[in-house]
Amino acid sequence: MSATPSPGPAPDALELAALLCSRVCHDLISPVGAIVNGLEVLDDNPKPEDREFALDLIRKSAKTASARLQFCRLAFGAAGSSGAQIDLGDAQTMARGHLEDAKTKIAWNLPRLLLPKNRVKLLLNMMVIAQQTIPRGGVLTVDSVGEGEGIGFRVAASGLNARMPQNVADLLSSSAAAADAHAVQPYYTRLLAQACGLKVMLAPEGDSVVVTAS
């Protein structure tokens, strides 16, 4: 029986920035590529029905790209100066624009508050992790844990065949877990939780998978 390889060293600040940039580019490649494809169809002087299809593809893809950019700016970017506060109402709007679709809905049970930006970034990243546990769609239920300056969050993902990726759970709970381009988002989520004085966990709960920061 072979030994389990030990994880590599944690990424330094420069490598972490590069990994996050790769993650954002990955999120944008699909809708931007679809816009390019639609424009190529229009350049070929298509029949009226093909032209309408191309225009519809461009409209939908541009809307998707815009929603993803706005979400990534808030979830991964600076989104204001150091110490800035962010309205949870704005976070809800960004989350719905990026994560809600025909298969996945959000039940948002948080009050409208101004919170430090790292806490809001943490919440959005928790929602991304929760959404990935229900590949066939379902409901993301977002609640607060505690109140005041120490407020935390609970995001429950309920859907058909909800699954808990063990590697993601390890990245959230252990500093020994190594991050790469595929794992940088949960790794970054743990760093955000630490910056907020919170501990983030991913665990099954009945038929759901729950991400908690408290």
- d(CA 75, CA 128) in angstroms, rounded, equals 10
- d(CA 125, CA 72) in angstroms, rounded, equals 10
Beta bridge partners of 86: 115
Residue pLDDT, tens place only, 69-116? 888 888 887 665 555 888 899 999 999 998 988 899 999 999 888 998
CB neighbours of residue 196 within 10 Å:
20
Evaluate whether the domain defined by 82-213 bears CATH number 3.30.565.10.
yes
% residues pLDDT > 70 (the chain):
88
Q: What b/e string do you get for 172-181 counting C-beta neighbours within 10 Å, with b at 16 or more?
A: bbeeebebee
- Relative to beta strand 138-145, strand 200-205 is unpaired
Tokens representing residue 141 in the block? 């239920």
The CATH topology of domain 12-77 is: Helix Hairpins (1.10.287)
- d(CA 105, CA 137) in angstroms, rounded, equals 8
Residue ranges of domains in the chain:
12-77, 82-213
Instruction: Please calculate the CA angle 88-91-93 and round it to the nearest 5 degrees.
Output: 115
- The residue ranking higher by pLDDT, 176 or 92, is 92
Residue pLDDT, tens place only, 24-37? 787 888 888 888 88
